[in-house]
Each structure stands twice: as structure tokens, then as C-alpha cells.
Chain A
Amino acid sequence: RKEVEQDPGPFNVPEGATVAFNCTYSNSASQSFFWYRQDCRKEPKLLMSVYSSGNEDGRFTAQLNRASQYISLLIRDSKLSDSATYLCVVNMGGQNFVFGPGTRLSVLP
């Protein structure tokens, strides 16, 4: 089993839709979790950290489920500009960051 797994997609959704991504991780001792977005041929950019209590930033909501070892990202009211690949990142301890392969989102007009 890979350490961090994501549905590769692509997820094709119309503008205004709500879309959710899940990411599962294998190390139950993992402490820090993040979502990054990566545009084609660009660097990953931090979208949000994921806290135990869940957190929201505008149209984006991230949640952590430690019991089931997954994190989720919910995007409401999708915009064309949300089209990107979304990377789940898990810190497995120390400086051991494991990146998922990413989920590709296309928001269609």
C-alpha cells in the first residue's frame, strides 16, 4: 500500500459545482497534513494546512479523520480558475513529507 493515496481523477465539473477530494495515508502517527495546488508546468502552492478540528478558507474546507486515516478537501462554487492538480501532503515525522500523486480537477464553463 502506498503511503499517501489519492484518486487521480480527472474530475470534470461544471462551474458552480461542489467537488470533494479524499486522500488516505498509511502512517497513523502522522501529525501534519496539507493541501497544495499545482497548475500545469508550475510549482506546487500551499492551499491550506489541515487541522484536527477542520478548517475553512472561503470556498475551501479541509477536514481530517484520524480514525479512518484520511483527509478531505471540499471546494464549493467551483470557478474556472480552480482547475489544477490538488496534492495531498502528509508529514510522517521529522522532515519526512510524503506527497500524494495528485488529483486533477477541470472546471468546465
Chain B
Amino acid sequence: DAGITQSPRHKVTETGTPVTLRCHQTENHRYMYWYRQDPGHGLRLIHYSYGVKDTDKGEVSDGYSVSRSKTEDFLLTLESATSSQTSVYFCAIGGSSYEQYFGPGTRLTVT
């Protein structure tokens, strides 16, 4: 399995609070991605990174920000969590072949 971890694995938080999810890789892959998965939808891209301090928006980026200060770490921040952001969040890593490898996911509940 690809060396990719996510923390925390589960989190319950209240509406309006900031939340940060962490993705860590040991594979030295250039690309890192944050997706969310909701019932009835395929995985949807939130943000991705193509290098240290290089990030770009995905399909559902509103309400989210990211940072990548080191190759191995990619952080996703919900600036002010809302109930619509209750979801399962997956981090993925990838290289030049476009194949992606996913972390175990974080289940986030916003009450």
C-alpha cells in the first residue's frame, strides 16, 4: 500500500468552528489531492497541489483552503464548518502517470 496517512480519522465538530485535516505521504509524490465523498455523488475534487506552495482549486473548493509547506504534508482547512461539509474526506497522491493512491479517509460530522 502507498504510504499515505490521514489524521484525524474521525471528527465531530460544531457549526462555525475551524477544522484542519492532515494528509501525510512517504512516497515523495508530486501531486496531492483532497476529495470529498457523499452519498449519490462520485468523489469530488476540492483542491489539489502540484508542489510545495503550489495549489489549485477543484470542483467544490468554496469554504475550503489548503496549504502545502512540505512535500509530504497537505492540509485541508474548513474555515468555518457548516453542516453541508459533513462528509468523508479522502486525500490522494499521484505522479506523472495520473494514477492516484488514496489515504484511509477522515469521517467528519458537523453538528
- Seen from chain B, the residues whose Cβ lies within 8 Å of a Cβ on chain A are 31, 33, 35, 40-45, 48, 50, 56, 90, 97-105
Interface residues as binary, A10-46 with B (CB distance below 8 Å gives 1, 0 otherwise)? 0000000000000000000000101000000011111
B96 to chain A, nearest CB (A): 11
Does B48 contact A95, Cβ atoms closer than 8 Å?
yes
Chain B proximity of A108: nearest CB distance (Å)? 24
Which stretch from A53-61, A62-70, A73-81, A97-105 is at the chain B interface? A97-105
Contact B105 A43 (CB under 8 A): yes
Given A95-B33, A95-B50; A32-B41 close (CB under 8 Å): no
Once A and B bind, how many residue pairs between them come within 8 Å at the CB atom? 47
Q: Are A32 and B98 in contact (CB under 8 A)?
A: yes
Assess the B42–A46 pair: CB atoms within 8 A. Answer: no
Given A87-B42, A95-B50, A100-B42, A43:B98 Cβ within 8 A? no
Query: Given known contacts A44-B90, A46-B99, A49-B99, is B104 in contact with A98 (CB within 8 Å)?
Result: no
